Amino acid sequence: MDIRGSPFGLLSAHPLAPLVSLHHLDYVQSLFPGTNRVDSVKRLIRAYKSDPSRTLQQSFCYDPIRNWSISVSWGYSVQLYPFLVTAKDLSTPLQTFLTWGSWSQEPFTFNTRVMSLKPCERPIIFYFDRVEGFGYGRTLTRYRRPRPENRRQCDDENYAAAYSVKGFNVSAPLLHPTIWNKAPRRQCCEIINGSDDLNGVLEVRIRGCNEWESVTPP
C-alpha cells in the first residue's frame, strides 16, 4: 500500500496477514515520534526479528470495570480508549494518511475511520519501546507513551484515569509461521494486573481465544 503522511493508522490496524514489506518510507512520517526515519525502521525491525509472524498483528482487550478498550498492534503501538469501542471499529484504520498520487483522504480500497480532532474522542497512544525474551517461546514487548504534545487533553474524568497509565507490558507466545497456512483468527488478550498498579504500567497477555470467546466488548 503506497501512502503519504502518517502511517500510524495503517500500521495500528494491519490486516490479518503477515507483514510483507513497507514501501516509500521517504514519503511518510517517521514510524515512531521523536525518531528519524532510519532509527524508527530499526526499532520496528528489532520487534520483527524477535517474532516475524506476530509483527503488527492486532489483538483487542476490554476492561469491563473501567469500560476501557485496548488495541495492541504487536511491535508497534497500543491504543487505549477510555470507553467501549467495537472490534469492527478497532480493526478499521484511523485516517492518518493520504493517497499516494493525489495527496487526498480518498479513495482507498478499504474502509477507514476519522481521527477526531476532539481530545475526548481520540485514543491515548503508546509506542513500542523494546522487546525482551520472557521464558521459553514467549516475548515481552514494552510500550511507552511519548512526551505530551501541546495538543489539549480531555478533561473528562474517564480520561483522567487513563492518562495515569504510563505504559504497557505485553507478553505473548511466539506465533508460528505455519499459522498462515490455516484459517488464521485474531488472538485474544487480557489485562492481568489490577487498576491500582502503583507504577502505572498495565500488564497485558496475548493468547489464543478460548472456544466461543468473542473479541467484541462484553
Q: What is the pLDDT along the chain (218 residues), one digit of tens a residue?
A: 566 677 788 888 887 776 666 666 767 778 898 889 899 999 999 999 999 999 999 999 999 889 999 999 999 999 999 999 999 999 888 877 655 554 455 655 567 787 888 999 999 999 999 999 877 899 999 999 987 666 788 999 889 999 999 999 999 999 888 888 776 678 889 998 765 556 789 999 999 887 776 666 66
Phi, psi (5° rounding) for residue 179? Answer: -60, -30
Phi, psi (5° rounding) for residue 146? Answer: -65, 165
Sign, CA torsion 111/117/123/129: positive
Question: In the Cβ-directed half-sphere of 73, how many Cα atoms lie within 13 Å?
Answer: 28
Question: In the Cβ-directed half-sphere of 136, how many Cα atoms lie within 13 Å?
Answer: 0
Question: Cα 34 from chain centroid?
Answer: 18
The DSSP-derived string for 155-212 is --HHHHHHHT--EEEEEEE---GGGGGS---PPEEEE-S-TT-TT-EEEEEEEPPPTT
Given a contact cutoff of 8 angstroms between Cβ atoms, the answer to whether 132 and 37 are in contact is no
Is residue 160 one of the residues assigned to a domain?
A: yes
Residue recorded with cell 530499526 = 42
Is residue 212 one of the residues assigned to a domain?
A: no
Is residue 217 one of the residues assigned to a domain?
A: no
Q: What number of other Cβ atoms are within 10 A of residue 216's Cβ? A: 12
Is residue 172 one of the residues assigned to a domain?
A: yes
Q: For residue 10, give its domain range.
A: 3-207
**Number of domains making up the chain:** 1
